[in-house]
């Protein structure tokens, strides 16, 4: 067994033991706001709700069947934009979506190359280890916590849980942080390297969206003329465009789209392959970023580390 595999397994044993000692219930805040979308809502109204509340996902509920019906996500929005932009005018798209309810959304998703509706869920009493395994078995970063009403047998959506929150909880509460400081990304073979999809500031937003869909990715590093990382454009930026009413102007350059970000936007964060797992988790916790761009000594991108990559390295 290679040295990297040995180190990874030792750390995974520690992290997996920790995750097995805690349930999803431990992650539910004392006070929080949960947005739940009824499947009778029109798709346009549901997407508007996401935009207005700055959310990247929200659970759906079928009130007729009294059951959880999946998650609506920004990835769905990206795929919708790609499909309609390629086949219809903006007005036609709005008119079409204005007649479709969320309950018909799964059928709508099948019109183009996109994943099916995320119906992934867990019980609040499931261990964080079970939740993590369930998330990593898919390409989703969030699932719903769904319980059962003991009197009616109906589903009750309790909360949502993301990979970010699981990693943050572990980074803060795991006792043996020394091991997190001992191992680097390189040691643990964390991240995706080579053949990165990148763009420059003059590339249009719709071209970036095509990159998302064609390559099944959620972020594209933005480089200068020398190949140095300047920024990133992520799926979450589409929400900002929607909030500004610019979904009919997707030919604007990325530079203009990035200027719409609020002052407190976390922006681009980079790391090196020799950075420790502890430092990476600390950056994720403090900045709320969903991924880090791995750069070389010249600030040129060599890879991407996502939250899923980190969690996968910590699970046996």
pLDDT at residue number 114 = 47
Is residue 260 scored above 90 in pLDDT?
no
Q: DSSP assignment, residue 184?
A: B
**Per-residue pLDDT for 50 more than 50?**
yes
- From the list 311, 316, 301, 237, the residue with the least C-alpha distance to 271 is 301
Report, as an integer, the average pLDDT of 241-251. Answer: 83
d(CA 304, CA 270): 9
Q: Which one is predicted more confidently, 141 or 95? A: 141
* Domains of the chain from N-terminus onward: 3-172 (3.10.580.10), 182-313 (3.10.580.10)
Which stretch of 153-162, 172-181, 188-197 has the lowest confidence by average pLDDT? 172-181
| pLDDT (mean) for 247-273 | 87
* pLDDT exceeds cutoff 60 at 116: no
Q: Of 157, 176, 141, 143, give the one whose Cα is nearest residue 311.
A: 141
How high is the mean pLDDT of the chain?
Answer: 87
State the Cα–Cα distance between residues 209 and 27, nearest whole angstrom. 33
Distance between CA atoms of 291 and 185, rounded to whole angstroms? 13
Question: Is the pLDDT score of 113 beyond 60?
Answer: no
Q: What is the mean pLDDT of residues 210-221?
A: 90
Instruction: Give pTM, 2 decimals.
Output: 0.87
pLDDT at position 117: 55
Please report how many Cα atoms fall inside a 13 Å half-sphere around the Cα of residue 61, on the Cβ side: 17
* 30 contacts: CB under 8 Å, gap ≥ 6: none
What is the pLDDT confidence band of residue 51, given thresholds at 50, 70 and 90? Answer: confident
C-alpha distance from residue 12 to each of 7, 8, 281, 313 (Å): 8, 6, 15, 7
> Which among 210, 16, 188, 259 has a CA at the least distance from the CA of 112?
210
- Can you tell me the distance from the alpha carbon of 232 to that of 200, in angstroms, rounded to the nearest whole number? 10
pLDDT number for residue 108: 67
**Contact status, residue 170 vs residue 18, Cβ threshold 8 Å:** yes
| pLDDT (average), residues 163-188 | 89
């Amino acid at each position: 067994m290679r040295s990297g595999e040995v180190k990874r397994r030792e750390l995974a044993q520690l992290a997996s033991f920790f995750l097995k000692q805690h349930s999803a219930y431990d992650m539910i805040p004392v006070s929080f706001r949960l947005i739940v979308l009824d499947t009778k809502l029109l798709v346009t109204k549901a997407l508007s709700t996401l935009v207005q509340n700055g959310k990247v996902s929200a659970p759906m509920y079928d009130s007729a069947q009294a059951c959880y019906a999946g998650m609506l996500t920004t990835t769905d929005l990206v795929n919708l934009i790609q499909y309609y932009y390629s086949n219809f005018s903006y007005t036609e798209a709005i008119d079409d979506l204005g007649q479709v309810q969320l309950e018909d959304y799964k059928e709508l998703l099948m019109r183009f190359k996109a994943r099916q509706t995320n119906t992934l869920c867990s019980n609040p009493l499931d261990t964080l280890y079970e939740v993590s395994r369930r998330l990593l078995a898919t390409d989703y970063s969030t699932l719903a916590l769904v319980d059962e009403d003991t009197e009616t047998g109906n589903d009750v959506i309790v909360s949502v849980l993301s990979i970010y929150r699981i990693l943050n909880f572990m980074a803060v509460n795991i006792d043996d942080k020394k091991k997190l400081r001992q191992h680097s990304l390189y040691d643990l073979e964390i991240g995706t390297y080579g053949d990165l999809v990148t763009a420059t500031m003059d590339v249009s937003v719709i071209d970036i969206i095509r990159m998302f869909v064609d390559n099944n990715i959620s972020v594209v590093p933005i480089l200068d003329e020398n190949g140095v990382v300047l920024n990133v454009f992520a799926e979450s930026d589409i929400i900002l465009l929607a909030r500004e009413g610019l979904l009919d102007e997707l030919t604007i350059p990325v530079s203009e789209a990035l200027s719409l970000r609020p002052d407190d936007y976390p922006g681009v964060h980079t790391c090196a392959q020799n950075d420790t797992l502890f430092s990476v988790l600390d950056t994720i916790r403090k900045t709320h970023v969903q991924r880090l761009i791995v750069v070389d000594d010249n600030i040129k991108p060599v890879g991407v580390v996502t939250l899923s990559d980190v969690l996968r390295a910590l699970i046996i």
